[in-house]
């Protein structure tokens, strides 16, 4: 069985130390709905974070 991950939305936001808490909460809550959330620092501007929503 093949697993395909689809990017639904991506947005840049100001980085905050607590952003990971929101992403963790969303992942725990919406995993059963086949949604996954990601957070990464922007490579060019470390003050920005990239928040991505995926369908799994």
pTM of the predicted model as reported, rounded to 2 decimal places: 0.89
1 within some domain: no
In the chain the first and final C-alpha atoms are separated, in Å, by 13
Cα 44 to the chain's mean position, in Å? 18
Domain with 23 in it? 6-55
Q: Is 26's pLDDT higher than 80?
A: yes
Q: What is the pLDDT of residue 1?
A: 59
**Using 50, 70 and 90 to split pLDDT, how confident is the model at 3?**
confident
Number of domains the chain contains: 1
18 within some domain: yes
Q: What is the percent of the chain where pLDDT is above 70?
A: 96
What does the pLDDT look like over 30-48, one tens digit per residue?
999 999 999 999 999 999 9
């Amino acid at each position: 069985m093949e697993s395909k991950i689809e990017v639904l939305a991506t947005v840049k936001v100001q980085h905050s130390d607590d952003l990971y808490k929101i992403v963790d909460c969303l992942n725990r809550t919406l995993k059963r709905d086949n949604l996954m959330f990601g957070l990464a620092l922007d490579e060019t501007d470390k003050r920005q974070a990239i928040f991505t929503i995926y369908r799994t």
